[in-house]
Copies of this chain bind each other. A is one copy, B any other.
Amino acid sequence: MTDTPAFRPDARSPRGFQDRRARDLRAERTLLARVSAVYEAHGFEALDTSAFEYADALGKFLPDSDRPNAGVFAVLDDDEQWMALRYDLTAPLARFAAQHWETLPKPFRRYAFGPVWRNEKPGPGRFREFIQCDADTVGSARPEADAEIIAMAVAGLEAAGLARGAAALKINNRKLLNGLLEATGVTAAGQKLAVLRAVDKLDRLGPDGVRLLLGEGRKDESGAFTKGAGLQAAAAEAVLQFVAAGGGSRSETLDRIAGVIGGSAEGDAGLEDLARIDAALTGLGVADDQAMFEPSIVRGLEYYTGAVFEAEILLDTLDERGERVRFGSIGGGGRYDDLVARFTGEPVPATGFSFGVSRLAAALRAAGQAAADAVRGPVVVIVFDGAHMPQYFQVAGELRAAGIAAEVYLGTSGMKAQMKYADRRLSPAVIMLGGDEIAAGTVTIKDLDLGRSLAAGVQDNETWRAARPGQATLPRGEMIPFVQRILKG
């Protein structure tokens, strides 16, 4: 027998998962607290469902399959039922609402935030666990319920720290394009889908490229041919006019849409919905630059049954090559009527909005609105002599009692390493309490912020030093005001 060395696992996170440290967590918690306050002010109650749902409740079973399909993390429970981690917050809401429908106050309004998990291929900036924040109204078919969700999203983004003008809610309605296609004789689901896919490429290909995709098809630069939706020329033009109808105030856009949508019952219903959303938004004080109608918004149209909305960050940011790009979408939502019906058989109208918390936090950083700074460390009490530990702790306690974060250094290194530790923690100051100070009832305080300012060239050495001593020995009773002055900067 040979000696086998002890097994030493690699210390690393699984692929696609990340650790978040103080700076990011602070930004995220502040953001969620502010958005939660907005949602609660609108009468939405907090709900937290568990990480696991039964896979069938998530709808993650393919027909004739005995394993959950791709995209979710699933485990077989010991009673032979498949459970899967939630991949969004809507599916658990649907399960909850269906389970408790009889006893819930209706319409049921809830908000929720928490991690969701996607079993997908990880990549740069593409994680398999991330935080979402959702608000939904279940049990109201009124377009005003959509308007309220939109107004709440606007208020939430602003409360989170995005200045007015930095974000906008863009609103479309699935009924409009449906009605338009119906008026031009398109009724097959496959053809509608091809139209949606073509419209979705407007940003990238422009109207001419989309015209080809709406018609016979398009050959790209490489020579590859994409088959088109097969619309007649007049129908394709109507679609192009429709998606170009955005811009200006909500009522101007409505007028333009009315001019091109062409009189189908479904199109008229879509127009009526938007008119009521406009009126409610105006009543809620949401201006035309905060929420606008934009017929070219396609994303999610396959999933939603009526209004659809997207929250777009209007800031430019720099990409990996240093080029300016639009930050883009951070969330979206819309009206959906079939989720609860999956359980109960009865359709229940619902509408909601969801945003990515990390993505909003990144937008706030890009906007310079939040927590770009590293988190401040505590005041560090230096350890000279183990026998004086109780006195060090007393000083740290006095600082904390005054609302100042403080700690006693608890390693075993010497003075120099302790100063370096305090500097790395971004401590504002260290407190030194040698035998002399203890005997005299004094403390020595070293201002680390000053050192950092001087090192960064923020302050002129001479004038600054005159106003602010870098180090001072003071009676113990003057310690707190001195540290408070340092913290004020």
CA distance A109 to B377 in the complex (A): 11
Which residues of B are found within 8 Å of A404, using beta-carbon distances? 41
Which residues of B are found within 8 Å of A99, using beta-carbon distances? 11-13
Which residues of B are found within 8 Å of A14, using beta-carbon distances? 50, 52-54, 77, 81, 83
Q: Which 8 A-B pairs have the closest CB atoms?
A: A283-B390, A43-B407, A43-B378, A17-B50, A283-B393, A11-B98, A11-B99, A9-B56
> What is the 8 Å Cβ interface bit string for chain A, positions 421-464, against chain B (1 contact, 0 not)?
10011000000000000000000000000000000000000000
Min C-beta distance of A91 to chain B, whole Å: 11
Which residues of B are found within 8 Å of A17, using beta-carbon distances? 50-52
> Is A362 at the interface (CB under 8 A from chain B)?
no
Which residues of B are found within 8 Å of A22, using beta-carbon distances? 45-47
In the complex with contacts A99-B11, A405-B43, A410-B144, A391-B48 CB distance below 8 A: no
Q: Are B405 and A40 in contact (CB under 8 A)?
A: yes
In the complex with contacts A41-B400, A79-B15, A377-B43, A407-B109 CB distance below 8 A: yes
Which residues of B are found within 8 Å of A485, using beta-carbon distances? none
A-B contact pairs, 22 of them (CB 8 A): A7-B56, A8-B343, A9-B54, A11-B57, A12-B54, A12-B95, A12-B99, A13-B49, A13-B53, A14-B54, A40-B405, A41-B403, A42-B400, A42-B407, A50-B129, A107-B410, A142-B412, A148-B393, A276-B389, A279-B389, A284-B393, A285-B397
> What is the 8 Å Cβ interface bit string for chain A, positions 87-115, against chain B (1 contact, 0 not)?
00000000110110000011101000001
Which residues of B are found within 8 Å of A412, using beta-carbon distances? 140-142
In the complex with contacts A14-B54, A392-B283, A9-B408 CB distance below 8 A: no
Min C-beta distance of A413 to chain B, whole Å: 8
Nearest CB in chain B to that of A98: its residue: B11
Q: Are A45 and B57 in contact (CB under 8 A)?
A: no
> Is A75 at the interface (CB under 8 A from chain B)?
yes
Most chain B CB within 10 A, of A129, A283, A404, A425, is at A283
Q: Which residues between 1 and 23 of chain A lie within 8 Å of chain B, taking CB atoms?
A: 6-15, 17-22
CA distance A386 to B147 in the complex (A): 14
> What is the 8 Å Cβ interface bit string for chain A, positions 273-311, against chain B (1 contact, 0 not)?
000100110111100000000000000000000000000
Q: Are B390 and A19 in contact (CB under 8 A)?
A: no
In the complex with contacts A25-B48, A48-B25, A54-B14, A283-B394 CB distance below 8 A: yes
Which residues of B are found within 8 Å of A280, using beta-carbon distances? 389-390, 393
> Is A345 at the interface (CB under 8 A from chain B)?
yes
CA distance A441 to B151 in the complex (A): 25
> Is A235 at the interface (CB under 8 A from chain B)?
no
Min C-beta distance of A269 to chain B, whole Å: 15
Q: Which residues between 110 and 126 of chain A lie within 8 Å of chain B, taking CB atoms?
A: 115, 117
CA distance A78 to B419 in the complex (A): 47
CA distance A96 to B19 in the complex (A): 8
Q: Are B77 and A19 in contact (CB under 8 A)?
A: no
Given A25-B48, A40-B405: 18 more A-B contacts, CB < 8 Å: A8-B345, A9-B342, A9-B343, A11-B344, A12-B57, A13-B53, A14-B50, A41-B403, A41-B405, A42-B400, A43-B380, A43-B425, A73-B75, A140-B412, A142-B410, A148-B393, A279-B390, A280-B390
> Is A145 at the interface (CB under 8 A from chain B)?
yes
> Is A180 at the interface (CB under 8 A from chain B)?
no
Which residues of B are found within 8 Å of A57, using beta-carbon distances? 9-12
Min C-beta distance of A348 to chain B, whole Å: 11
